[in-house]
Structure 1
Amino acid sequence: MRAFSTRLKSGVLVSAAGVFGSAFLWLLSFKAIAYWAGPEGVGLFSQLRQIAQAATVGATFGGTNSVVQGLAERDDDSARRQFRTTAAPIIGLTGATLALAMLAGAPELTWFLLSSSAPTLVATVRWIALAVLLNVGGTYALAVLNGYRSYSYLALAQMAGPAAMMVLLIVTSLWHLPPEPQKLAGAFVLCFGLTFLVGAFGVSRLPKLLDGSAIKALPKVQRHAFIQFAMSNLVAALSTTIALLLIRSWVIEIKGLAFAGLFDAGWTLTFNYTTLFLTACSAIYLPVLTAATRLEAQKACMLKMAYFVLGSSILICYGMVLLREPLINLLYTSQFQASSQLLVVLVIAVIFRGVSWVYGTLILATRNSRVLLLSDLALNLCLLVMTRYALNSDASLEALGWAFVLPNFLYLIFVIEYARMKNRLLQRRKIWPFLVAGTLPLIYLALAFAEPQWVRSGLFEWLCIAIGLIVGLITLIVYKKVIL
């Protein structure tokens, strides 16, 4: 298990460079759109992105996890090639079928997800169908590179597409071209297309079998096991993306594209980039946790990652709260300042989300399909109920933020208890004190910001932020002391 520490310092750094490099390029793209088209443009761009993501998750059976897990549990290169020979046609056929279905049902999808039947938006959704097909191929290529731990090509593929999209959007905004929806769809086609090409090149550079013998598909039993796990992973992952798709469509329907853009600014700065951070960690964590068969090794692996994720999340989140106004001005425009109070609430849910991901990955590593499916469905159903209630009763950005906090807190409780049930060496007192100390100051700040100005004091704000930063540093010190 010492390989974990080594890879955490090398492999994760390269993978993180790709993930965060890609995230930074996406961030610049959002900045260009905010300058070019304002909150309405950001709202439309975000919904188009969510449509593409939902379709890609459906076609790839939950994203990269199924392929990464399948490759990680096979040490022999011949077995890995056998797995790829089975997985690639299944994913390719599913992606092509889904893209054709989107082309045929574009008018209905436009009305349901964008609350409009405008011909320009229908044409935009049809272009998104092409982007989805390219994104399916790119996602599969990234999964293969991750499974083989080819982190250099993985990072290159992750950044190539967003870099091209960023350049296109910046040039378009500087030329002050009309902010037409088809131009946004064209940016997605360019982004996903280039990611696919670079990813496919990386896959072609992987080691080949020396004997040059033909590779057969997986045996029937293994093929069925892969499909069963992939389907469970699909439903679990798709429930999350569809939930976000529905939430955005409700926001557009009830409050309009401008309000959706403000919501997306807060959500992107918190949840979206937290997901990217966890994706970078997953490149090492999931394969290593899958290989950890002894309870002691499993406990050490989970605790080390939990402290790393929690400590990092606390420092980042408190920094974002402290610098929320200049951060929004820098990454968006002054038109998005209303998102600052939403950000203060969402960072609480982000911390819960990070730690629950660490413990919840055990479900993936042990391939417990039923628990994976039911837990994610329950989480997203609760999220949908809470957000719909918030939109119908208050319809404020802060209310939407709290609708994310409660479901993520309940899911955190569940996955910690599930992990303890699977591994009795894991103890609640090893994680809960850090969680409570790290989130209570944020909860106070979120509640105080909702009150009139005279209720809160600047001194208390600085005190809360100082406490949070100290807790984050202590958590990272504890992370260093966990021995694998």
Structure 2
Amino acid sequence: MRRLVRSTAILGLGSAATVVAAILRSKILAAWLGPEGTGVLAQLAGLTAVLVPLATLGAGNGVVTMIAEARARGDLAKVRRITRTATTLAWTVGIGLAVLAALSSPWLARGIYRDAGFVWAILFCAAAVPLSAVASLRITMLQGHEAVREMAKLNGLIAAIGIGAIIPMAHFFGVKGAVAQIVVVAAAHAWLSGRFLRPLTPPRPPDLTGEEPRIDRSLLSTIARYGGSALVVGLSSTLTLLVVRSILVGKLGLSQNGIYQVCVGVSGLTMPLILNSITATVWPEIAAKPRDADAVGPMAGGIRLAFLLVTGVSAALLVGAPIWVRLFYSERFLPALDLLPFQFLGDYFRAAAWMFGVWLVPRQRLRPWVLFDVVYGVVLLAVFAVLVGRVGIQSVVFAYVAAHVSHAVLHYALARRALGFRLGKQNALLLGASLALLIGLAILRPRDMTGVAIGGAASLAWAGLVIQRREWIAIKDMAFRLLGRARPAA
């Protein structure tokens, strides 16, 4: 648990620049472009989230496991072959997808914007696809190497470059400049990720004669097995969300899509940061275990840390929402206050689903992983379709909650049956108290200082109830070490 906390803390601190950059970016877009401009970029982000996994052939999670397993066996030559093969495939498929997206840009623009005038945005997106795909894959390779510090440094550098690019480009060129900076950041990400990965990549074997192949055909079946499953899983969420948001644009307009982006933006910032930081340590540990049942130990520690962080961050954001929505967006985005409580409830169940199923990929249990994500996509679309005509934009967050509830229930049931997994007394208390806190805050919906004070008191009571004394001590010790301060004398 201590190692898990340390690794997560290093990544978290390294990603502090990412958080700051995302906040500044949101403020810039809100102030200069408003809800409609924010909605334009949100749709482009959704399209990118569909195309980039396709360009990687869904191999990211599989590459983490393959590299971790090869390293555990000391097979450094295989690590090199995995790296070269996956990177070459990403460049090749990414460029092909970029060409295809450019050729189909009029139809894509009409599909996601309901306006063929946004062809220019699709073209910028197409240019970024191969660059983002390679960068994404290299990040998963760093994860397979357990290169926590390198990942943290990379996060910080990309955050700085992103802010350095978007300020002048959005200021002078408006929405088009904000879209164009996506290509600039993607290029920087691809180059820097390669620099960080290079020292970790094993050198060419000295006994290898002739030209080293770019693609090792013996790895293709394994990559395809992981990738095919991952593509179905990824598209069940990203493509579903893009479809939902495109329907939302058609029914309610880009401005309402921009309002909803407040929810997507905060979840997209906090949830991957927390869950990916934990997974970077938990996945290699689980992959190295000899039996499926041995995954229970790493899972238990990961679940506890995930819910402490997700609930603490969600509660703080929900309590402070009346302040930070005004500060980091603008008054025009205040309707998002009615959506955020349900978004954070959905994030709770999203964390549950992820952590209950965190063992599936490293243990190569891909069929249930795929099936459960297909169910997630079906539930999301079905609930949204039923509710959108009745409750408008709230239908999206209601569907988000329902989909992740189904996802979490399925993953827990499988872990219980296949692994004999049990939450345990302390984790059951944590999950129950966390759910009660988020439901209470959803009912309270702080809007003024009185509500903020009540919500803050409830959050402190939650922390006092669920955080154990040894965890407070570990947090304090970790803080002193990470900040470079000497531990005070007892």
**What is the TM-score of this pair, normalised by structure 1?**
0.88
Question: By how many angstroms is 1:470 displaced?
Answer: 3.0
Q: Which of the numbers 189, 198, 209 marks the counterpart of 1:204? A: 198
Q: Answer yes or no: is the 8 Å Cα contact 2:237–2:377 preserved in 1.
A: yes
The aligned amino acid for 1:336 is F
Determine the C-alpha separation between the residues in 1 that align with 2:207 and 2:462: 56
Partner of 2:186: 192
Question: By how many angstroms is 1:324 displaced?
Answer: 0.7
Report matched runs for 1:13-412 at 5 Å. 13-62=9-58, 64-75=60-71, 76-118=75-117, 121-172=118-169, 176-180=171-175, 182-209=176-203, 211-214=205-208, 222-294=219-291, 297-397=294-394, 399-412=395-408
Query: Quick one: structure 1 residues 199 and 220, their matched pair in 2 at CA, closer, same or farther if it must change by over 3 Å?
Result: closer
Query: Quick one: structure 1 residues 404 and 359, their matched pair in 2 at CA, closer, same or farther if it must change by over 3 Å?
Result: same
Query: Structure 2, unaligned stretches of length 5 or more?
Result: 475-490
Q: Answer yes or no: is the 8 Å Cα contact 1:20–1:276 preserved in 2.
A: no
Question: By how many angstroms is 1:302 displaced?
Answer: 0.8
The aligned amino acid for 2:87 is A
Question: By how many angstroms is 1:442 displaced?
Answer: 2.6
Q: Answer yes or no: is the 8 Å Cα contact 1:107–1:117 preserved in 2.
A: yes
Query: Quick one: structure 1 residues 400 and 448, their matched pair in 2 at CA, closer, same or farther if it must change by over 3 Å?
Result: farther
Question: By how many angstroms is 1:329 displaced?
Answer: 1.6
The aligned amino acid for 2:9 is L
Partner of 2:479: none
Q: Answer yes or no: is the 8 Å Cα contact 1:33–1:169 preserved in 2.
A: no
Query: Quick one: structure 1 residues 113 and 88, their matched pair in 2 at CA, closer, same or farther if it must change by over 3 Å?
Result: same
Query: Structure 1, unaligned stretches of length 5 or more?
Result: none
Partner of 2:488: none
Query: Quick one: structure 1 residues 479 and 183, their matched pair in 2 at CA, closer, same or farther if it must change by over 3 Å?
Result: farther
Determine the C-alpha separation between the residues in 2 that align with 1:479 and 1:231: 43
1:364 partner SS: coil
Determine the C-alpha separation between the residues in 1 that align with 2:292 and 2:104: 49
Question: By how many angstroms is 1:409 displaced?
Answer: 1.3
Question: By how many angstroms is 1:232 displaced?
Answer: 0.5
Q: Which of the numbers 418, 433, 439 marks the counterpart of 1:422? A: 418
Determine the C-alpha separation between the residues in 2 that align with 1:164 and 1:251: 32
Q: Answer yes or no: is the 8 Å Cα contact 1:71–1:148 preserved in 2.
A: yes
Question: By how many angstroms is 1:199 displaced?
Answer: 0.8
Query: Quick one: structure 1 residues 28 and 342, their matched pair in 2 at CA, closer, same or farther if it must change by over 3 Å?
Result: same
Determine the C-alpha separation between the residues in 2 that align with 1:227 and 1:390: 37
The aligned amino acid for 2:199 is R
**What is the TM-score of this pair, normalised by structure 2?**
0.87
Determine the C-alpha separation between the residues in 2 that align with 1:402 and 1:479: 37
Partner of 1:471: 462
Query: Quick one: structure 1 residues 218 and 62, their matched pair in 2 at CA, closer, same or farther if it must change by over 3 Å?
Result: closer
Query: Quick one: structure 1 residues 220 and 172, their matched pair in 2 at CA, closer, same or farther if it must change by over 3 Å?
Result: closer
Query: Quick one: structure 1 residues 213 and 341, their matched pair in 2 at CA, closer, same or farther if it must change by over 3 Å?
Result: farther
- Percent identity over paired residues: 19
Question: By how many angstroms is 1:408 displaced?
Answer: 1.0
Query: Quick one: structure 1 residues 109 and 425, their matched pair in 2 at CA, closer, same or farther if it must change by over 3 Å?
Result: closer
Determine the C-alpha separation between the residues in 2 that align with 1:478 and 1:57: 42
Determine the C-alpha separation between the residues in 2 that align with 1:210 and 1:235: 34
Q: Answer yes or no: is the 8 Å Cα contact 2:59–2:224 preserved in 1.
A: no
Determine the C-alpha separation between the residues in 2 that align with 1:297 and 1:479: 24
Question: By how many angstroms is 1:437 displaced?
Answer: 2.3
Question: By how many angstroms is 1:123 displaced?
Answer: 1.6
Q: Answer yes or no: is the 8 Å Cα contact 1:438–1:468 preserved in 2.
A: no
2:203 partner SS: coil
Q: Mean Cα displacement is larger for which, 265-274 or 300-309?
A: 265-274
Kindly report the root-mean-square deviation, in angstroms, between the aligned alpha carbons of the 2 structures. 2.8
The aligned amino acid for 2:179 is A
The aligned amino acid for 2:167 is I
Determine the C-alpha separation between the residues in 2 that align with 1:136 and 1:19: 20
Determine the C-alpha separation between the residues in 2 that align with 1:63 and 1:53: 14
Q: Answer yes or no: is the 8 Å Cα contact 2:83–2:201 preserved in 1.
A: no
Partner of 1:443: 439
The aligned amino acid for 1:177 is F
Q: Answer yes or no: is the 8 Å Cα contact 2:299–2:358 preserved in 1.
A: no
Deviations 1:390-410 (CA, angstroms, capped at 9, x unpaired): 22221043x432221122112
Q: How many residues align?
A: 467
Determine the C-alpha separation between the residues in 2 that align with 1:415 and 1:199: 33
Deviations 1:221-243 (CA, angstroms, capped at 9, x unpaired): 65313311211011101221111
Deviations 1:95-135 (CA, angstroms, capped at 9, x unpaired): 111111101100000000111011xx102211110111211
Query: Quick one: structure 1 residues 160 and 86, their matched pair in 2 at CA, closer, same or farther if it must change by over 3 Å?
Result: same
Deviations 1:168-195 (CA, angstroms, capped at 9, x unpaired): 322345xx53524x31221100111101
Query: Quick one: structure 1 residues 417 and 89, their matched pair in 2 at CA, closer, same or farther if it must change by over 3 Å?
Result: same
Query: Quick one: structure 1 residues 207 and 260, their matched pair in 2 at CA, closer, same or farther if it must change by over 3 Å?
Result: closer
